Structure 1
Amino acid sequence: MKILGIGSNYVTDLKEIEEKRNNKKFIFSKPESSLAVNCDVDYPSDITSNLIYEVELVVKIGKEGKNISKEDANSYISEIAVGIDYTAADLLNDARETKHPWDFAKGFDGAAPISSFKPASEYNLRDINFDLKINGIEKQKSNTAYMIHNFADIIVFISRYMTLQPGDLIFTGTPAVGKGEIFKGDHLQCSVNGELMLDFKMI
């Protein structure tokens, strides 16, 4: 199973989308061991002191595909969840300065908390609301209409380089504003279209 993510994929103003669609896409990966499904997550204090959260919708691939067409791309999505893309910002900064890979900054144990999945057929993929509350306070909120590269765009792009297989997960980007630092003891709640789907604590 592959876990892939796309960076910088949301805007705050719909007018910005066309301008930014030609920007270079960048994709990163997380190992399967980074997943934490519907459970509390240990704060990784042994490796970082600056942990950053980003709420994202996660799509699961339901069938194998390579060089997938834009017209067919959404048919490869079987299920949808909501998750957090955690980044150890201090490790990421070190990696950027030394031009080393991001693996440890993005792929430590617990770096990818996710909810259970629901069938993609339950959603209008172009109109999904999602949000994150921390300790009861809303921190991030957006709708898939504000994606620079929608689900189909992401699938087409990735499948040019690697075969997508059943069970692969794609973190599809975080709202353009609101990401920030998480602390031990924080309580995170993620909702999709108003339904609470992920509810956990940093311990």
Structure 2
Amino acid sequence: MSQYLFPPPAIQFLPIRGKAERFAINRLFFVGRNYHAHAVEMGKPVDKTVERPFYFTKAPQTLVQSGATVAYPPETANYHYEMELVLAVGKAGFRVSAENAHEIIYGYAAGLDMTRRDLQLVARDKGRPWDLGKDIEDGSVCSEIVPMEGVVIGQGAVKLEVNGETRQSSNVDKLIWDIREIIADLSLFYHLQPGDLIYTGTPEGVGPVVAGDKITGRVEGVAEVSLAIGNAE
């Protein structure tokens, strides 16, 4: 038996609706600026005719399950929510055509891409990586996985509330790059694997939260997600 200097990281997982098995997490991919209105509010409009999707990643250890309470993160004064439809990959795929993209879909979830917006914007404007703004401890929130094998979601309301007040309200049909296009493009760069999650982008209405706030979000026909913001450490 192998001996380690210290215990290796625990396997990250999410519950699966209706099943005793757990969904073991491999990688977390995020699509940037995938709703026109959000791209505009961020000051970076997208022209699909001349641009391709872009992505960033977060460590699997940043994942927290829906319903958690997390500390307000350090070194930020502008902590934002971003509500997203999350795609769960169930089969390996490399250079997957858009026509065959459904073959690697296991299911979907509702997620939050929490962001140190002040740090992200500084990095963006200086041409630096976004890691400090995005790859945040406890900053990738996800509901249970809902099995929907082979289903390509093309529409469904996406909503988020903070303390009961609606902040985001849109629809999956407003994605700039849809589910098939995301899988086809991302699989050109990576050998997608079972356990990969793809956060597909957030609509307009992103904004800050503070300690004591309660975030609730939902994707129609999929799931709900919630998060409570605790005091800073």
Match of 1:54 in 2: 82
The answer for unaligned runs of 5 or more in structure 1 is 13-17
Q: Which amino acid aligns with 1:189?
A: T
Aligned pair partner of 2:130 in 80, 102, 112 = 102
Distance 1:140 1:3, change over 3 A: same
Alignment map for 1:105-184 (pairs within 5 Å): 105-121=133-149, 125-175=153-203, 177-184=204-211
Q: Deviations over 1:45-90 (max 9, x none)?
A: x221111111001111000010001111122111111111111122
Task: Output the amino acid matched with 1:190.
Answer: G
1:162/1:119 CA distance change after superposition, 3 Å: same
Return the offset for 1:173.
Answer: 0.7
Following TM superposition, by how much is the alpha carbon of 1:138 offset from its aligned partner in structure 2, in angstroms?
0.8
Aligned to 2:69: 40
Q: What's the C-alpha RMSD, in Å, of the aligned pairs?
A: 2.1
2:214 matches 1:190: no
Closer, same or farther: CA 164–195 of 1 in aligned 2, 3 Å: closer
Contact map agreement 1:21 1:148 (CA 8 A) in 2: no
The structure number with the bigger radius of gyration is 2
Q: CA–CA distance in 2 between the matches of 1:196 and 1:50? A: 27
Separation of aligned partners in 2, 1:73 and 1:122: 8
The 5 Å alignment of 1:65-84 reads 65-84=93-112
For structure 2, the 5+ residue unaligned runs are: 1-25, 38-45
Question: Structure 1 129/116 Cα, relative in aligned 2: closer, same or farther at 3 Å?
Answer: same
Q: 1:8 aligns with which of 23, 33, 56?
A: 33
1:152/1:123 Cα in 2 relative to 1: closer, same or farther (>3 Å)?
closer
CA-CA distance at 1:195 after TM superposition: 7.2
TM-score, scaled to structure 2: 0.78
Q: Would you tell me which structure has more helix in proportion to its own residues? A: 1
2:146·2:223 contact (CA, 8 Å) conserved in 1? Answer: no
Q: 1:53 to 1:24 in 2, by over 3 A?
A: same
Q: Is the 8 A contact 2:162 2:213 kept in 1?
A: yes
User: What amino acid is aligned across from residue 191 of structure 2 in structure 1?
Assistant: T
- Structure 1 residue 23: Cα displacement: 2.4
Aligned-residue identity in percent: 34
Residue 122 to residue 193, structure 1, CA distance change in 2 (3 Å)? farther
Residue in structure 1 matched with residue 56 of structure 2 by the alignment: 28
Pick closer, same or farther for the CA change 1:21–1:82 going to 2, 3 Å: farther
Partner of 1:125, secondary structure, is: coil
Normalized against structure 1, the TM-score is what?
A: 0.88
Q: Distance in 1 between matches of 2:172 and 2:142?
A: 18
What one-letter code is carried by the residue in structure 1 that aligns with 2:167? Answer: K
